[in-house]
Chains A and B, each alone.
Chain A
């Protein structure tokens, strides 16, 4: 998952970004003002935007309105120091999905971030299932047929993204875009390495192969009959 943190207080942005990377394994980009936020959100498909309300150049409310006017469906989680009812109602009506008030609890911020991402991708339970594969996004653990699997952080991130988009063909470029922030060099063959690692840990020894490769198209996580290894 890739998150855009829009916050003008550099220290706060650092803390939030670090919390998201360490606590949820997300890729995080940072924008320090409203204009940068609009630009970044327009050029990258983020899974979530965490947005401070008081920003230089453009207010957070203005950013939300602009994004929604441009047709963006990326979930927006607001960071606000105002907790009066009116401003919260205005925000939600403008297209924000949720909010936390400063000073917030980092654990709560992460939980809400996960929930908003989940709902944005059509999932509701924190434990996502495909056939007998279980991905617990809260504990960041994976089980197949009741047995706990040990994944590397990057393997988990690839699987987490695929399981959120289960049944949909995800191209390599999409995976790259959603798993790395701006500071990474992008090599598509890294993805192939993670996918093969995941296949080995998840599908080996099982009759149904859940991770499938559609050559020239991408990857899909599903449990139908097409799952027989070609």
Chain B
């Protein structure tokens, strides 16, 4: 895909607007020049027409005959295209200049009007003065003064040429100025985009090893970049947290794995170090097998966690079947019975609502198993663990697991769902307690769009609440 340049777009728009402005300026300049020139031109026509009027005179012989004195003609404005004129006396052509073609047949101009017409294919502008008295007077002041009609026209070509020159001059200067202007525009736009380049360069330096991201001063003081820098910072801090959590998890996992291997290795070496009886060897190998099972369970839980997290990333799949929540609870209770009776703890299932959800029944069973296992292990002998299933509304089911154990200190509560987080009195002694059980529960519940929370009062007991999106079991007809 061809990439559009922001700078190029801005430059094209600015230079285009510059050109438009220049064209407008030239047009205005030419109009103003033409108006000025035309006023002068018209004044010239007026005075020249008056000169022609003065050239119509009475004969000196005392008769009242008129003659045209062509010696005092005014000079032409444009020698290449000389002025033309015509003088009419009582409707008849009285005097005329060379090259006079006559007015166009249809013209009926009122007196004092300017008219445009062509003479030998050259545009002319003329002034018509109808029935004006001549300036010369007869000796007898009472005799009536003769009236004439004068038409005087000058070529427009010279004026048009001048207007055009003004236009060319303005346009030329403008175009010349436009070159440095465009260059300045390009420079200014590039400079204006500098904060963006700085930001990009700084962002480009970020890597897994170097998280530090300082917003360049120019970028932080640019209001248009604020949303971008803000988004970048938010993204980075989230990424950093996620990487740190991942690194911590890897370290914890390495610690667990190395410790498990260290237990097996040192156990075997203790056994090998001194000669022992067959009985001792048997007991030693038995412990080694237990240690191996512990390592196996760690690996199995890790894989489970990884699988659930993958499920959460991909979202619920279509090929998932439906699971009956209460049925999975019953299955989990059946599996915990042996441990519960060994600890003299009773597990009671309450609630009769049957609800179903789109889920892998094994996943749900594992959640209840982990929760019941924790509850039973922390319950005093003779007490009961309550597993309650209740439909909250049409779309959610609440499952709670409550024990009467020693509870969890308030300071520990925010961390109970973290991986490899163990309670204070839980350690490797039990062979369980990697601190992964609740982390796995949380991962599964959240992968299915549910929520899990834990309430605990030290000395009174602990209650885990799991809310899952479900629907009621359709009635069997």
Contacts and interface: CB of A to CB of B under 8 A. Distances in A.
Check if A and B associate: yes
Interface residue tally on B, bucketed by range: 20 to 34
B259 A106 contact: no
A104 interface: yes
A103 B427 contact: no
B428 interface: yes
A12 B268 CA distance: 11
Contacts of B251: 82
Nearest to A32: B427
Interface string B239-275: 0000000000001001100110111111101100110
B428 A106 contact: no
Interface in A91-133: 101-107, 109
A30 B331 CA distance: 41
A57 interface: yes
A105 B270 CA distance: 10
A170 interface: no
Interface string B304-338: 00000000000000000000000000000000000
A102 B259 contact: yes
B411 to A, nearest CB: 12
Nearest to A11: B263
A104 B266 contact: yes
B422 A9 contact: no
Contacts of A102: 255, 258-259, 261-262
Query: What's the interface size class on A, roughly?
Result: 20 to 34
Of the listed residues B266, B269, B287, the one surrounded by the most CB atoms of chain A closer than 10 A to its CB is B266
A9 B263 contact: yes
A23 interface: yes
Contact of A11 (B267, B273, B422): B267
Contact of A15 (B255, B270, B427, B429): B270
6 contacts: A9-B263, A11-B291, A12-B259, A81-B254, A103-B265, A106-B269
Interface of B: 251, 254-255, 258-259, 261-267, 269-270, 273-274, 287, 291, 294, 422, 424, 427-429
Interface of A: 8-12, 15-16, 18-19, 22-23, 32, 54, 56-57, 79, 81-82, 101-107, 109
**Closest 9 pairs (CB-CB, A-B):** A106-B269, A15-B266, A9-B428, A103-B262, A10-B429, A81-B258, A102-B262, A103-B261, A102-B258
